[in-house]
Amino acid sequence: MGFLDIKKATKTYGTVRVLHETDISVEEGEFLVLVGPSGCGKSTLLNMIAGLEDVTSGEIAIRGRRMNDVRPAERNIAMVFQSYALYPNMNVAQNMAFGLEMHGVPKAERDKAVSEVAELLQITQLLNRKPGQLSGGQRQRVAMGRALVRQPDVFLFDEPLSNLDAKLRVDMRTEIKKLHQKLKTTIVYVTHDQIEALTLSTRIAVMFGGYVQQLGTPKEIYDNPANMFVAGFMGSPSMNLFPAKVGMENGEAVARISLHDGETATLPFASGNAMAVHDGREIVLGIRPEAITDEDGADRNSKAIHKLESAVEVTEPAGSDTFVVTQLGGKEVTARFRADVEVKPGDRFPFAVNMEKAVAFDPETEMRISG
């Protein structure tokens, strides 16, 4: 049993089930990120933890206590909203103290808690301002401050950074991460930004269509996606997914990939002969851009670098790297080259594929094929 337990929780609006049976157990001090595209049910799940939405069936428990019928105020949680939701008629200090006041904390204690948190977040000079007089980033801090003063068991964040500009978002991301490392509170954080998910979390739940598609550490999610949705959603640029066929060559399982010009490339699977049982099967091969490189840029620690030649269609220089687009199995595939490699559209060029990082999916079920 964890610190925060979500057991077989579902949510139905009328006849529409927006959250299917979900089981997540969060340990104390964990940073769980719920990530997924718009409408997948992330906010719904978060609001259920907060008590702002009823649980249709199943259970939500914090510290072993069933919370389904406990009012939000008594769950000892704090929430940071996407719009910050600062009370417009109160100044920053009053905003931060409101929760304590509602819980009957005496004035002197409230003031002390507020000034401590204000110091931590470096917003002491803003305490007397109204929310309308703050910049977006300052509002964000105040919203976090308001959550922090309560010293809750669980922090809930609903897309707290999505209203900030790109640079500030990165800064605040780092700040939230630092804050978590310092305070070690349990956090559930909703975002649709997979980079935020990967950088902040200790664990990620990838959601889609009301289902948790995969729950795991950032590394597990990134390296071993459970299905094609997770593979495509996590990572930027996203994982290349293209059709291939399993075959046998010299007693080794290989992937046969049709190239642009009608030829076929053959890449041996790194997993020894685990794929041999799938001989003759059509699969979808998933390889991340950084595992398809120019020859010199290939990972030197990998024992399964294989070459294939293909025609370059587009090159996209991105400063530190150049992304090169080619076609494999009839699909556009992005490779990540070092920036100084000379490569032009139209060239036939040798690509180095790191098969240790390749994963295979069933084209029908879209699920991972072990191997």
Ligand X SMILES: Nc1ncnc2c1ncn2[C@@H]1O[C@H](COP(=O)(O)OP(=O)(O)OP(=O)(O)O)[C@@H](O)[C@H]1O
277 interacts with another protein by CB under 8 A: no
Counting contacts by CB under 8 A, is residue 109 touching another protein? Answer: no
| Number of Cβ atoms within 10 Å of the Cβ of 368 | 19
**Helix then strand then coil, % of the chain, to nearest 5:** 30, 35, 35
- Residue among 91, 161, 168, 164 nearest 131 (CA): 91
Residue 79 contact, options another protein, ligand X, Mg ion, none, Cβ 5-8 Å cut-off depending on partner type = another protein
Q: What φ, ψ does residue 81 adopt, rounded to 5°?
A: -95, 160
CA distance 130 to 66: 38
Q: Which residue is nearest to ligand X (CB)?
A: 43
DSSP 259: B
Which CB, 115 or 163, lies closer to ligand X? 163
- Give the integer Cα–Cα distance in Å for 222 and 363: 20
Sites for another protein among residues 125-184 (CB under 8 A): 146, 150
Q: Please, which residues have CB within 8 angstroms of residue 117's CB and are 6 or more apart in sequence?
A: 96, 145, 148, 149
The reply on whether position 33 binds another protein by CB under 8 A is no
Count CB neighbours of 247 within 10 A: 18
43 part of the interface to Mg ion, by CB under 5 A? yes
Q: Which residues bind ligand X (CB under 6 A)?
A: 13, 16, 18, 36, 38-44, 192
Q: Which stretch binds another protein (CB under 8 A): 46-54, 188-196, 321-329, 358-366?
A: 46-54
CB of 39 to ligand X, least distance (A): 4
Query: Which amino acid makes up residue 120?
Result: L
Amino acid at 132: G
* Binder of another protein out of 57, 65, 66, 73 (CB under 8 A): 73
DSSP letter at 290 equals G
Verify binding: residue 82, another protein, rule CB under 8 A: yes
Binding-site member from 8, 52, 65, 183 for another protein (CB under 8 A)? 52
Q: Which of 8, 103, 178, 338 binds another protein (CB under 8 A)?
A: 103
Q: Which one of ligand X, another protein, Mg ion, none interacts with residue 322, CB within 5 to 8 A by kind? A: none
Quick one: what does residue 103 bind among ligand X, another protein, Mg ion, none, with the CB cut-off 5 to 8 Å set by partner type? another protein
| Residue 38 binding: pick among another protein, Mg ion, ligand X, none (C-beta 5-8 Å cut-off by kind) | ligand X
